[in-house]
A = this chain, B = another copy of it.
Amino acid sequence: MRVSAYPLVDAEAAALLVLERTPVLGAERVPLIDCYGRVLAKDVVAPAQLPAFPSSAVDGFAVRAADGGKSLQVAGESAAGRPSERDLEPGSAIRILTGGVLPAGADCVVMLEDVKLDGDVVTVPGGLRPGQNFHAPGADLRAGERVLPAGSSLGPAEIGLAAALGLADLSVGRRPRVALMSTGDELVEVGERPGRGQIPDSNRWALLAALREAGAEVRLLGIGPDEPEALRRLVAGALAEVDVLVTSGGVSVGTHDLVKPLLESLGDVHVGRVKLKPGKPFTFATLPDGKLAFGLPGFPVSSLVTFEVFVRPALRKMQGHAQLDRPTLPVRLGYEARATADRTEYQRVTLRRDGRDLVAVSTGSQSSSRLMSLAGAHALVRIPPGDHGINEGTIVEVMILSLP
């Protein structure tokens, strides 16, 4: 039993170090049906203009603006997908439906509501202006325009835009494959009845959800064996198939902690302790072939907070996200936040509205074992180390997890 030999690294320095060592994974082409939530690997440039042809915005009649105020012979129809066979002759009108091609010779569309129709003769109002009620070719998008930058998250509008440009698949960042393992002699499977001193393995399920939110594909390794050689075989086998190893537990300094020696034997341990609360035992190592290993602490809140601070940005970098960190917003601190002398602290808060302000309310006891401090939390408040803390009423910039 010994005091940790690892130097305590500043939390901010550790986060930078992790990102510096994190590779961007390659790109892959993915059909639109699977693009939701993926990250664009290359700029999307419009191969052609949109709309490709002048198309009616309404149901009505395609006419020449110069024929405003006249009664016109209806000489055909242009429906969506069924263009008129003939061009528009002066003194005539062509019935047109929303999405229909504006026939050659026409320069505006009159809405159905604005005409008088008598058999095959339509009387249109005066004062028509060329360009009315149709979408001109290229009005939405010019050919060659960059429409989506690399690093964008693909949501409904972005995917719809790619589809409108005729792109059936997109080049997106590959999802990181992550092996997730819990360690600890005290763990039993959720659903089994814990014996004396035992607890259910909750980190596996919490971290699985966090990994999925971050875009990872997860391979569950379950609870790691407590025999070093068996543990080493399990992890080495898994590493052949994944990009990242995430463990929880087993990173404190006690005699039964196996993760740090394992990572030391497999690669280079760059961070073994951080000035962070919760999450001091956080461990980060690089392994051969650009693979990464994150040893998260065993306490549930510590594992999720270190995931937020160190792992999530790295997984996003791997996928090519332009935005690695959570968004932040300024909020008014609704409580007196005490600081920890020598560690950056991430306190969990809910947010409520007070007029135009968001007010941060503590989720109560910030114990590293108390998941209730994180359940339903909207944000993390970063409290720098020192003696001062942050006074109630101060405006602070917080990491937003969700909005109220």
Contact = CB atoms under 8 A, between A and B. Distances in A.
Interface of A: 1, 3, 32-33, 35-36, 50-53, 55, 57-59, 78-83, 95, 97-101, 112-113, 117, 135, 139-141, 147-148, 152-168, 184-187, 190-191, 193-194, 196-210, 212-213, 249, 252-256, 298-300, 304, 307, 327, 329-330, 356, 358, 365, 367-372, 374-377, 395, 400-404
- The listed residue with most B CB atoms (<10 A of its CB), out of A112, A155, A307, is A155
A158 B376 contact: yes
Contact of A148 (B58, B367, B375): B375
26 contacts: A3-B112, A53-B196, A79-B185, A79-B254, A80-B185, A81-B197, A97-B256, A99-B184, A99-B186, A101-B197, A135-B369, A139-B370, A140-B371, A147-B372, A147-B375, A148-B375, A152-B376, A156-B374, A159-B205, A160-B300, A161-B202, A161-B371, A166-B194, A327-B403, A329-B329, A330-B356
Contacts of A374: 156-157, 160
Nearest to A207: B156
A140 to B, nearest CB: 4
A304 B160 contact: yes
- The listed residue with most B CB atoms (<10 A of its CB), out of A98, A186, A190, A252, is A98
Given A81-B185, A140-B370, A59 B1 contact: yes
Contact of A375 (B95, B157, B212, B300): B157
A57 B139 CA distance: 64
A162 B36 CA distance: 28
Nearest to A363: B157
B330 A160 contact: no
B160 A371 contact: yes
